[in-house]
Amino acid sequence: MDSRTIVREFLDAVEALDLGRLGACFTAEARYANVPNPPATGPAAIRSMFEPILGRAERVRWDLVGEVYLPDRALLERVDRFWIDGTEYAIECNGVFVVDTAAGRIAEVRDYVDLATWRQRLATAHL
């Protein structure tokens, strides 16, 4: 399986608000870091990291602004959009995905966002 297909499965799971499917996209030792926070390690921890926001969102859409795929990596420039209580919250993000193509799963993600901006935008959502 190629990196584009593997990453697309993850993006589809996020947009479907499907935590089980999301967790299945990762290797047993996968790491997901919302930089500068420490990474979540393993599918269960990654699901737990996503649960608060996906659990509250009525809808999610991650728009790809730019994307580059290499055999074992994907670099994605995104605008991540979450609808909570009828209001859209969006944040610009750059993600580096390391994929295990033999396993067909993601081994590591490093998402770079301005957390201060995200927290400010979410302040009214009462998460």
What are the structural domain ranges in the chain?
A: 3-125
- C-alpha 106/C-alpha 76 separation (Å) is 14
Are the C-beta atoms of 97 and 90 separated by less than 8 Å? no
| Cis peptide preceding 52, ω within 30 of 0 | no
pLDDT at 15 over 60: yes
Report field, pTM of the whole predicted structure over 0.85: yes
Place of tokens 């901006």: 117
Place of tokens 């670099």: 75
Q: Side chain identity at 14, as an amino acid letter?
A: V
Q: Which CATH number fits domain 3-125: 3.40.50.300, 3.40.50.720, 3.10.450.50, 3.50.50.60?
A: 3.10.450.50
Are the C-beta atoms of 71 and 101 separated by less than 8 Å? yes
Phi, psi values for residue 57, rounded to 5°: -75, 135
pLDDT in tens, 82-127: 999 999 999 999 999 999 999 999 999 999 998 888 888 878 766 5
